[in-house]
């Protein structure tokens, strides 16, 4: 079997790169054994503002300009609903924070995305005496639905192998790579935290961070916006809300924990005053990097091996952006931005 590309991993990074290949008429096969769950537990928010510090996300406009059309194309082709336009409200904690919000909303990089008005809280179920700041041009991508639909489509076309990738079976040559009975020009590893077992790229400084997420049923909450205040609350419909997320650097299992649940519930109870029931809890391992930039680039010795990883907590925004950069780097010999190139970690 001859193809242009082998991709290992079909989370946000793998799908984003697959879409670049599809748009440019390249052939591909994908290996994914569902061992990495960071994408499936992602909140899926795209939000161009760092709400803790009221600063702009790196390359936010450029990222959104690539990401949103990509998700629209997947929606149309696979006949699924993925992109839900929804505002993000940041709870304002004090009069001083109100002033900070007004100052930030007047800055050139932020004025497009921060409403200059403070929204008064009229919801008795929420404790927010100083109101909310509204972030514009935000939304939620249903990542779980996207991955399920994408895998189904790949399986239908016999392009997905749901088996672990055996690195010992990979053979590299000058112009091609060979894996079992597949010959390809290139292979792209988009494995998330699974990169730690990858002998070709396990030297990269990926810092896996476990994240846990709750789903609650809260009939009296009645909000149609994402609420950010210590935790985020994302409405899912039918009075269901995602509550997240935690960060854990030592326990990197996929098991949910009582500690994370109690942490999230403690923050949630400071935010809302209505009753609710916890109906689900999930855990996944995020592929984060110390400088908060993705890991993109080529292996130093094996010139047909590439990596696309380290999307962190903003994968739905940054994934399509860096996937396009990697495609242009491989096919069009365009240089990678220094901020994402793995060569920045050369000693």
| Of the candidates 321, 294, 337, the residue with the CA atom closest to the CA atom of residue 48 | 321
| CATH node for 2-43+144-205+291-345 | 3.50.50.60
Q: Please, where are the H alpha helices in 157-210? A: none
**Tokens representing residue 65 in the block:** 């300009």
CA atoms within 13 A on the CB side of 26: 22
Q: Which residues are CB-contacts of 184 (< 8 A; sequence separation ≥ 6)? A: 2, 3, 4, 5, 6, 29, 176, 177, 178, 304
Q: Delimit the CATH 3.30.9.10 region(s) of the chain.
A: 88-136+207-285
The pLDDT, as a whole number, for residue 182 is 97
Each residue's pLDDT, cut to its tens digit, for the chain (347 residues) gives 999 999 999 999 999 999 999 999 999 999 998 876 666 567 899 999 999 889 999 999 999 999 999 999 999 999 999 999 999 999 999 999 999 999 999 999 999 999 999 999 999 999 999 999 999 999 999 999 999 999 999 999 999 999 999 999 999 988 899 999 999 999 999 999 899 999 999 999 998 889 999 999 999 999 999 999 989 999 999 999 999 889 898 998 889 999 999 999 999 999 999 999 999 999 988 889 989 999 999 999 999 999 999 998 899 999 999 999 999 999 999 999 999 999 999 86
CA–CA dist 319, 12 (Å, integer) = 6
The pLDDT, as a whole number, for residue 97 is 95
Question: Architecture of 88-136+207-285 per CATH?
Answer: 2-Layer Sandwich (3.30)
The pLDDT, as a whole number, for residue 22 is 97
SS3 content of the chain, % helix, strand, coil (to 5): 30, 30, 40
- Which residue is it, tokens 């336009």? 85
Helix (H) or strand (E) holding 94: none
Length of the chain counted residue by residue: 347
Q: At what angle do helices 12-23 and 143-156 cross, to 10 degrees?
A: 50
Tens digits of residue pLDDT in 306-328: 999 999 889 999 999 999 999 99
Q: Please, where are the H alpha helices in 237-312? A: 258-269
| CA distances, 115 to each of 44, 59, 133, 168, 203 (Å) | 22, 20, 7, 54, 43
Q: How many CB atoms lie within 10 A of CB 87?
A: 18
| Of the candidates 4, 6, 11, 2, the residue with the CA atom closest to the CA atom of residue 191 | 11
Pairing of strands 240-244, 305-309: unpaired
CA–CA dist 110, 96 (Å, integer) = 19
Sign of the CA dihedral running 89, 95, 100, 105 = positive
Q: Delimit the CATH 3.50.50.60 region(s) of the chain.
A: 2-43+144-205+291-345
Q: Is 180 left (phi over 0), alpha (psi -120 to 50) or beta?
A: left
Q: Please, where are the H alpha helices in 185-338? A: 258-269, 315-332
The pLDDT, as a whole number, for residue 347 is 63
Per DSSP, 11 falls in state S
Tens digits of residue pLDDT in 147-162: 999 999 999 999 999 9
CB 281 within 8 A of CB 213: yes
pTM over 0.85: yes
């Amino acid at each position: 079997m001859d193809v242009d590309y082998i991709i290992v991993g079909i989370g946000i990074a793998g799908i984003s790169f697959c879409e670049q290949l599809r748009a440019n008429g390249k052939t591909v096969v994908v290996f994914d054994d569902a061992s990495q769950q960071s994408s499936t537990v992602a909140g899926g928010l795209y939000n161009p503002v760092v709400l803790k510090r009221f600063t702009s996300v790196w390359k936010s406009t450029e990222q959104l300009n690539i990401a949103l059309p990509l998700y629209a194309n997947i929606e149309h082709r696979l006949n699924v609903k993925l992109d839900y336009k929804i505002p993000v409200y940041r709870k304002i904690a004090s009069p001083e924070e109100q002033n900070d919000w007004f100052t930030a909303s007047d800055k050139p990089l932020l004025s497009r995305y921060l409403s200059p008005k403070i929204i008064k809280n009229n919801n008795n179920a929420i404790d927010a005496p100083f109101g909310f700041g509204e972030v514009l041009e935000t939304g939620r991508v249903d990542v779980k639905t996207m991955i399920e639909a994408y895998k189904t489509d790949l399986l239908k076309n016999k392009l997905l192998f749901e088996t672990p990738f055996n690195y010992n079976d990979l053979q590299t040559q000058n112009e091609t790579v060979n894996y079992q009975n597949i010959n390809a020009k290139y292979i792209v590893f988009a494995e998330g935290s699974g990169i730690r077992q990858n002998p070709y790229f396990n030297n990269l400084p990926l810092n896996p961070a476990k994240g846990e997420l709750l789903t609650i049923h809260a009939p009296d909450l009645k909000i149609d916006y994402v609420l950010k205040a210590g935790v985020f609350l994302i409405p899912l419909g039918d009075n269901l809300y995602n509550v997240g997320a935690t960060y854990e650097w030592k326990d990197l299992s996929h098991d949910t924990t009582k500690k994370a649940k109690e942490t999230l519930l403690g923050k949630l109870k400071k935010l809302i005053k209505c009753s609710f029931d916890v109906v689900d809890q999930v855990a996944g391992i995020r592929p984060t990097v110390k400088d908060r930039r993705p890991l993109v680039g080529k292996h130093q010795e094996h010139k047909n091996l590439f990596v696309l990883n380290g999307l962190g907590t903003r994968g739905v925004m940054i994934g399509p952006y860096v996937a396009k950069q990697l495609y242009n780097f491989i096919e069009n010999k365009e240089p990678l931005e220094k901020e994402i190139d793995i060569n920045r970690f050369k000693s």
